[in-house]
Chains A and B, each alone.
Chain A
Amino acid sequence: MKRAGALLGVVVMVTVAFLVRNVLDTDDTADGSSPSRSGPSVLCPTELADVCEASDVEVSTESAGSTADRLLAASDTDALDADAWIVPAAWARLVIDERARLGRAPLFEIADEPLASSGVVLTIWADRNDELATTCGGDVGWRCLAEQEGATLATGDRVRPAGPLADSAGGLTLAAGQMAELVGRADFAANDFDGTVRSLADRLARGQMSDPLRTMRSRGPGQITAAGVLLADARNLSSTFGAIVPIAEGGPRADLVVLVRRGADLDGGLRADLAAAFVAAGWDPPADGSDGLPDGSVLAAVRTLWNQSR
């Protein structure tokens, strides 16, 4: 009986939402406040622009962090200035949960399944990996790299871990995975960021840069010992890896989600095109189960810490 009542409640809520949305859509059309476009448009993080542009859609680009900042402050989904935002779920969760924590009205929800997924991976020069594995007492991980940051290797160069900018598409997912390793638990929170964790995080965060894997390859092991990247990016460069090996795949996962502006829609065909484009670019089809990320407020705290340490 309770279940039937709940179902009825959901039906009523959906109906009311539909009616309200229709009214609002009508208002938008009537006062001309909605942007007028000839076709669907999407906003993509800068690093994903090429993949987004492979589909028949108008694409604008911006760093994921900048978009998130705009949406955190926005009073309406029109702030998106596109029909949809295609972004790793870490960013969507940050915007949704932080707005809730700050007492701001919800703008979006993640309703549909992701377009594609990518793990994160630690890549390292093979010979440095052999030496560091001995130092670390086993597999090389982010905690050991942070502890060894600045130490001199047998080759004479120093341990320099790197990663993407926290405000980039995959940067926040990677930073969250690194924090989980530093704290020692996947369900970490900002109160776990004690002095030791912050100091170690500093050492990793100082290695933030655009496109760390390409930089690692072009500048050599003297400049970058190891880099964290999205697995999709690593696959793209796999043919040129040479002496760089991917290790320690695991931790959180970047699921690409679509946040849609109120009154807009992305039809199923376009979604399928976008999903196919991402898979062709090295992403995996949507994965099942938890993505291993903490809630958006914790992600916001990770981002704050990372940006303070740059």
Chain B
Amino acid sequence: MSRRRPARIAAALAAILLASACSGGESDLGFDENGNPVVDPGDCVRVDAAVSSEKIELLSALAADFSASDLAETDDGECIAVIVQSKASGGAAQLLDSGWDEEAEGPRPVIWSPASAAWGSVLNQRYETSGREPIANDSTPFMLTPLVIAMPQPMAEALGWPDEALGWGDILTLARSSQGWADYGHPEWGPFRLGKTNPNFSTSGLSALIAQTYAAAGKTAGLSAEDLRKPEVIQYGTDVESAVVHYGDTTLTFLNNWYRADQRGNPYAYVSAAAVEEKSIIDYNTGNPDGVLSQGEQPRPPRVPLVAIYPEEGTLYSDNPLIVLDADWVDDTEKAAAAKFVEFVQSAENQEKVLEFGFRPGNPDVALTAPVSAANGVDPAQPQTLLEVPDPAVTVAVLDAWADQRKSARVTLVIDVSGSMGEPAVDDTSETKLDLAKRAAIEALDEFKDDDEVGLRIFTTDLDAAGATFLDLIEPSRVGDVRENLANRIRDLVPLNGTPLYDVARDTYEQLAADYDPARINALVLLTDGRNDDGRTDDDGRQLDELLNALTAGSEGATSRPVRVFPIAYGGDADLATLRRIAEASNGAVYDASDPRSITKVFTAVVSNF
């Protein structure tokens, strides 16, 4: 057997780089703008892997171990370098379907590892629909975590947990009740509020939607398009969705907001329950709600733990498959090399590592032990009932049905038209930040359904002779009636003066709160590229405090009228830290578009909340 020494060194270098990446930091040797390691695989056979974010750390470490091992060798004696990058499941599915731009998104993958095999089904269905051969065929489960309903332990106990079997039927009953938790002896907890992510973006959201639809149809297998058309199934879905506080592209928003509410002493008013993966409950209860310890954070168990409810009607596993793609950009050598890596991660030794991350091993020979235990609010003996993954065509039909059944929104788009928005978006273009923002906002209008209500407000200083700081171009109106008008008004925006951020945020919030519609998701999307600049600096601190106090007061308590604020920090000068505080005070989420070229993607993520 011959080996090319330089190639082995390159593989080892890749391993070192990946090991550096998996420790959560950057390397002095280079990372791209998305935080993925820049690796030179040398002469090795390169196997690019696109994996969902929750396992980037683990798979990066395994890829480094593999690349540095003697197993990383093809039958022809060439070394193999596995290079991992993070890609959200839904986003990767869309890229693989619509065309993967390697310049913007990194290399096209040989291995795709979404959170669930369901994404492979969705992708294959889209390929078949457009007359292409499916590419997600060779799939091996890597690690497992079931979809559960997370609930603060006292709330679950009020429903009869752990003695009673609970499930989507109980969620439906609570959602339909006008009394909410008062029906269970706890009026102080207010109405029932459900956290569910957008199934077009989030694996948890997709699994929850499928499970809830099975429950509505009274089945555990064979969900059909006919089932979806039944009035009682439609009503079931619509009623469950009516309890949703907002959607979004990640469950981490719910978990972080929930944890903060817990630390403030009241985890009951934000959401009563959320559809998440079992792994997230383990993370939450060990004091690390988003699974990542950021700068200065230490694990701090919550005051009130969450417990996992395994729906009695059945649930689905996120199986984190490793899919070796049958794509035209993958040659046989790469496929064979990828298969060796898949075999490597299935070994018992490597499968034991998934437990450290709160997952269940995909290899059934590896024992299920801590942290998957009752001490962390989960039950290793569950789930007792598993649901069949629907046919791809049915899964797509479920998503289509959800688009009609999801809770409608009432949103005001607040767009910064300060002078700095007229600056070039990036060095090598004549387009301004406002140009890109307008295009993204107009595209995002298509993501709203006709029944959503959307308004448009712009802000800057001195909008009129009296010194107005904002202007309502369109009052919140049914999108089906004003979509074109909204697009036209956005298209006409021009950059003007200062950035009275706090003033407009406070006023818009108070107006939305005054007009609060409990049947809708009430929200404010605040796009700004700067810091508060209203011509006075001496009252900035007071203004911010008053804004934060108003947002916090409005989002807490059983009788609150929650209006979520979703700020977009746009461009490198935006005040991301302050915008994060504004979002957190309202139990919303901040979005980082510090690279103006990301604004379209960011706008899409923001609108996924509705």
Contact = CB atoms under 8 A, between A and B. Distances in A.
Contact of B24 (A73, A101, A194): A101
Interface in B275-314: 287, 294-298, 300
B579 to A, nearest CB: 11
B584 interface: yes
B577 A308 contact: yes
Interface stretch (B346-354, B381-389, B542-550): B542-550
B297 A102 contact: no
Contact of A103 (B24, B264, B297): B24
A308 B20 CA distance: 28
B24 A199 contact: no
B222 interface: no
A190 B20 contact: no
A104 B26 CA distance: 7
A191 B300 contact: yes
Interface string A182-218: 0000000111101100110011001000000000000
A222 interface: no
Nearest to A205: B541
Given A102-B25, A308-B577, A195 B544 contact: no
Given A199-B545, A202-B541, A308-B577, A300 B25 contact: no
B560 interface: no
B548 to A, nearest CB: 6
A47 to B, nearest CB: 25
Nearest to A200: B545
Given A75-B28, A101-B295, A103-B27, A195 B300 contact: no
Given A104-B28, A301-B295, A150 B263 contact: no
A302 interface: yes
Binding site of B, secondary structure by majority: helix, strand, loop or mixed? helix
A103 B263 contact: no
Contacts of A104: 20, 25-28
Contact of A195 (B28, B259, B287, B581): B581
B296 A300 contact: yes
Given A194-B263, A202-B541, A103 B298 contact: no
Contacts of B20: 103-104
A166 B578 CA distance: 19
A191 B297 contact: yes
B549 to A, nearest CB: 8
Contacts of B238: none
A304 interface: yes
B491 interface: no
Contacts of B287: 191
A300 B297 CA distance: 11
A177 B453 CA distance: 48
B23 interface: yes
Contacts of B295: 98, 101, 190, 297, 300-301, 304
A298 interface: yes
B552 interface: yes
A190 B296 contact: yes
A78 B287 CA distance: 39
A299 B296 CA distance: 7
Contacts of A98: 295
B312 to A, nearest CB: 35
Contact of A102 (B22, B24, B259): B24
Binding site of A, secondary structure by majority: helix, strand, loop or mixed? helix
B268 to A, nearest CB: 17
Contacts of A299: 296
Given A194-B264, A195-B585, A206-B541, A189 B297 contact: yes
A202 B263 contact: no
Contact of A150 (B542, B544, B548): B542
Interface string A270-304: 00000000000000000000000010011111101
Interface in B21-75: 21-28
A73 B28 CA distance: 7
Contact of A191 (B25, B27, B298, B577): B298
A75 B24 CA distance: 17
Given A102-B24, A102-B26, A194-B263, A203 B541 contact: yes
Nearest to B261: A194
A294 B298 CA distance: 11
A297 B24 CA distance: 13
Contacts of B263: 191-192, 194
A161 to B, nearest CB: 13
A232 B155 CA distance: 54
A195 B25 contact: no
Contacts of B585: 195
Given A103-B24, A103-B26, A190-B295, A202 B300 contact: no
B25 A103 contact: yes
A134 to B, nearest CB: 24
B548 A195 contact: yes
Contacts of B259: 191
Contacts of A308: 577-578
A300 B294 CA distance: 11
Most chain A CB within a 10 A radius of its CB, from B263, B300, B544, B581: B581
A103 B22 CA distance: 8
B464 to A, nearest CB: 31
A199 B540 CA distance: 12
Contacts of A294: 296
B296 A301 contact: yes
B260 interface: yes
28 contacts: A73-B28, A101-B24, A101-B295, A103-B22, A103-B23, A103-B25, A104-B20, A104-B26, A189-B298, A190-B295, A190-B296, A190-B298, A191-B297, A191-B300, A195-B548, A195-B581, A195-B584, A203-B541, A294-B296, A297-B295, A297-B296, A297-B297, A300-B296, A301-B295, A301-B297, A302-B296, A308-B577, A308-B578
Closest 5 CB pairs of A and B: A301-B296, A102-B25, A190-B296, A103-B23, A103-B25
Interface of B: 19-28, 259-260, 263-264, 287, 294-298, 300, 541-542, 544-545, 548, 552, 577-578, 581, 584-585
Given A206-B541, A302-B296, 5 more contacts: A103-B23, A104-B27, A104-B28, A301-B296, A308-B578
